[in-house]
Each structure stands twice: as structure tokens, then as C-alpha cells.
Amino acid sequence: MSIQKGDKVPAATFMTMGADGPEPVDSETLFKGKRVALFAVPGAFTPTCSAKHLPGFKEQAEAFKAKGVDTIACTSVNDVFVMGAWAKDQGVTDEMVMLADGNGEFAKAIGLELDGSGFGMGSRSQRYAMVVDDGKVENIFVEQGGEFKVSSADYVLENL
């Protein structure tokens, strides 16, 4: 069963690209005492993720802050180097934190892993967005199939 509204976010360690290279970011530090809008994409550099999903959150960063969101975070089952390159490609600076879930451990822990092996992509994350307040899921929006509706920045903002 996947994570639900009201659940505590499980312990996990992500990787992010820092000024001096890869750095670990644990979920407790990420979520403790903060309201975080976390969105997940099936893959960096993939069409919908690059053309719509990430750009929407980047463009709406100020609107999220105005609604009480402290941090916007993007996660994907990609390695930290791919996430760092994607951030650079997308012009991401301090609008959001790019979190590599390289082994898919967070995706599995919350029950939102996706088997993309039929497309040569292996294990990935489903597309979703969630708002986490001090480590507890305030709301979660999981896409069905190949859709891109309920996890968009606009939809999440409307439901904050």
C-alpha cells in the first residue's frame, strides 16, 4: 500500500549535488519543522518531466512560498550526477532541491515504485506530488498511468 495523507514520511537518504560534489540529504533533515512540496518524476530528461513537470514548479516557486511552502523538492530514481546535470539544463538554482533517489529506496518505502523495465528504464518512481508538513503527509497527488494532471504545480497550488 502506498503512503497516504496523515502518514509519516519514512526515513531515507537522498543525494544532491553540492558545490563540492555529491552530498547526502536525509529525509528527517529535509522535512523536520518545514512544509515541503515534493514532486517525483519517472526520469530526468524525459519529455513530460522536462517540458512540463519540473518547469511548472520552477515557474511557480514564489507562489508556493506565498502559500507557506518552505522548500520545493524534486526527486527521481536517477543518480546524483544525472540530477545535477538536469538541474543545470533546466536552469534550476535555489528554487528547489534536486534529490537523487538513485536506488529507488524512497520510492519503494512509500509504495510508489514503477516497473519501467518494459521501456528499458528499470525500476522508477511513479509521477506524484505531495505536501509534507513537519514530516507528515498533508496531501498527496498520484498520477494514473501516463497522465500528468494532479501532480502539476498548478493543481498542487490549487489544493494547498
Residue 124 is predicted with a pLDDT of: 81
Q: What is the pLDDT of residue 141?
A: 98
Please tell me the least confidently modeled range out of 68-82, 94-108, 114-128. Answer: 114-128
What pLDDT score was predicted for residue 147?
92
Averaged pLDDT for residues 58-84: 97
Across 10-45, b (16+ Cβ under 10 Å) vs e yields eebbbbbbeeeeeeebebeebbeeebbbbbbbbbbe
Contact criterion met (CB below 8 Å) for 99 and 57:
no
Residue extents of the structural domains in the chain = 13-158
* C-alpha cell, 101: 533517489
- On the question of pLDDT at 156 being above 90, the answer is yes
Closest CA to 77 of 131, 41, 27: 41
| Euclidean distance between CA atoms 123 and 74, whole angstroms | 17
- pLDDT exceeds cutoff 80 at 84: yes
In this prediction the pTM is 0.95
As annotated, the active-site residues are 49
Among the residue ranges 35-49, 83-97, 114-128, the one predicted with the least confidence is: 114-128
CATH hierarchy code of domain 13-158: 3.40.30.10
Give the per-residue pLDDT at 108: 96
